A and B are shown apart, each in its own frame.
Chain A
Amino acid sequence: MEREEFLKSFVREQRLLAAYLLSATRDPHAAEDLLQAVATVLWQKLADYDESRPFGAWAVGVAHLEVLKWRQQAARSREVLSEESMRLLSETAAQHAEEIDERYHFLAACLKALGGTARRVLEMKYAEGRKIHEIAGCIHKTVSAIEMILVRSRRALRDCIERKMAQAASKAL
C-alpha cells in the first residue's frame, strides 16, 4: 500500500478509531493523543498489513494494543474499563465501521434542527472543551440547567439519528 492510499484508508477509518478510543479511555485528550500514536504505528507497520483483510479491522487491532499500553498507566490514577471490555469494544467497533460512518452524516443533518441554546452548549462542551461550570457561567445558567440541556440535546440527537437510520433502512428494502 502506497502512502496516499494509506492516508485515504486512515482518514476513512478515523471516525471508527476515534469512537473506539473515546469509548475505551473516556478522555477526549487521551483519545486524540492515542489516535496520533495509532497513525504512527500503522504507518510504521504498514509492511505487515495483509491487504486481503479490511483496513479498519487491522487499524482497530493496533488501536487496541495502544489502548492497553495507555491503560497500564491510566488505571493507576483513574477508573477505567477492564481489559476484557476494551477487547470486546474493539471487536464491536470493527463490526460497526459502516454504521459509525453512516451515523456521522445523519448527525450532521440532525444538528441543523437543534435549537440555538442547545447548539451553543454542545459547541462549548465538545468543540471548545469547556467544563460544565464554565459553560454555566458563560451563558448565565445554573450547572444543573446546563447538565439538563446536555442530557436532552444528546437524547434528541440520538432519537433523530435512529429515526433517520430507520428511514434509510426502510427505503433500502
Chain B
Amino acid sequence: MNNDFEDLVDRYLDGSASSQEVQRLDQAVQQDPAARKALLMSAAMQSQLGWLLAKPAAEVPASPPSGGRGARRRRLFAAAAVAAAAAGWLAAILLAGQYWAKCGQCDAVLRQLAARDTPVAAAAQPEARPQVIPANRVVQIRGLVLAFPKSGEKGVSVSAGSPIPMETPLWTCPWGGAAMRFADGTWMNLDRSTEVQISQADAVRKAAVKRGILFVTTHQAAGEGKVVVTTANAAVTLVDGQAAVAVDGDRTIVEVAMGHARVSDRPGGPAVPVHANQYAIVGAGGKPQVAQGGLTWRLAPAHP
C-alpha cells in the first residue's frame, strides 16, 4: 500500500476523513484484500500505541474487568470507589503542594508511579490567589485532581481541607478519575481526562465542564444544594439528586441517576425536566432531546 492510501486510512481512523474519502476507503476494502489488511494493521498500530505509550498507568491498581455496559455505568457512578483503589498508595507519593507543569503533569505522576520515586521538586507558590468561598472547601477527596490557579502555569494537587479558588481549572489524568466532597455535602466525581471549573454565586454551586464527564451528587438537606453544570451548549440544574454531564464533541449528554434535573441549551433558557433513568442529548443549537435509559457509559474517555 502506498503512502497516500495509508494517509487516507489514518484520516479515517482519526475521524477527519470526508464522506467521499470514507466511501473511497469502503470501496477499496470491498475490492482489495491488501487494503483490508492495511486498514486492519493501521488500526492495530493505533490501538497498540495507546497501550504502549500509557504503559506506566498499568501499574496503577485498577478496578477488575468490567462485566459489561451496566457494570461500566455503575463503575462510573462509583468513581470514588474506583479512584480510592489507586489513591491509597498514590496519596503516599503525592503530597499536598506538589507542583507540575501543566503540560506533562500527568506524565510526571506516571513516572513517579513507575519508578516509585520521590515526587518532583516543588515549584514556587502562585503569587496571588483568586477569591475563595468557604463552601468551595474540599472536605474529602479520593484520587488525584490537579488545580491550575494561574492559567498555563503550574498545577497543584487538590487535598482535603483546601479551598478551590473560583474559576480554577481542575484536571484529572487519563489514567484515573477522582471524587471530591465539598463543605455543603455535594459530591463531584470527575472521570478520567476531565476538565472542570468550579465557582459559586448566590448560593448556587456552578461547574463548567470543558471536557470529560462530571458526576454530581447533591442533597438539598445538606446545604444550599443547588448545582448548575454548564457546558459549551447546555445548562443543567440539579437540586437534589445525582446526574452525569458528559461532553462528547459538540454534544452534551446528561444522564440522571437519582432525582431529577432541568436541562436547557443555555443558562436561563427554557428547560426540560430529565428524571431518574432518563438521559438528554443537547446538540449544537438544538433543544434537549430526552429519552429513557442511559448513554454516559459509552463516553468514558479511557484507553485500554
Contacts and interface: CB of A to CB of B under 8 A. Distances in A.
Given A19-B44, A33-B72, A154-B45, A126 B103 contact: no
A128 interface: yes
B54 interface: yes
Interface stretch (B28-36, B84-92, B120-128, B233-241): B28-36
Given A79-B19, A92-B37, A15 B44 contact: yes
Nearest to B54: A127
A129 B10 contact: no
A119 B151 CA distance: 25
B67 interface: yes
Contacts of B65: 39
A35 interface: yes
A100 B41 contact: yes
A157 B301 CA distance: 25
Contact of A85 (B26, B52, B68, B302): B26
Q: Helix, strand, loop or mixed for chain B's interface? A: helix
Q: Interface residues of B toward A: which range?
A: 35 or more
B174 A129 contact: yes
B52 A151 contact: no
B43 interface: yes
A104 B44 contact: yes
Q: Helix, strand, loop or mixed for chain A's interface? A: helix
Contact of B72 (A36, A93, A127): A36
Contacts of B297: 33
Contact of A122 (B36, B49, B106): B49
B29 A96 contact: no
A108 B36 CA distance: 23
Interface of A: 14-16, 18-20, 22-23, 26-33, 35-37, 39-40, 79-82, 84-85, 88-89, 92-93, 96, 99-100, 103-104, 107-108, 111, 119, 122-123, 125-129, 138-139, 150-151, 154-155, 157-158, 161
Interface of B: 3, 6-7, 10, 12-15, 17, 19, 22-23, 25-26, 29-30, 33, 36-37, 39-50, 52-54, 57, 65-69, 72, 102-103, 106-107, 174, 193, 297-304
19 contacts: A16-B44, A18-B44, A18-B48, A22-B46, A32-B302, A32-B303, A33-B72, A35-B304, A81-B26, A84-B30, A89-B40, A119-B53, A122-B49, A123-B54, A125-B49, A126-B53, A128-B106, A138-B103, A151-B7
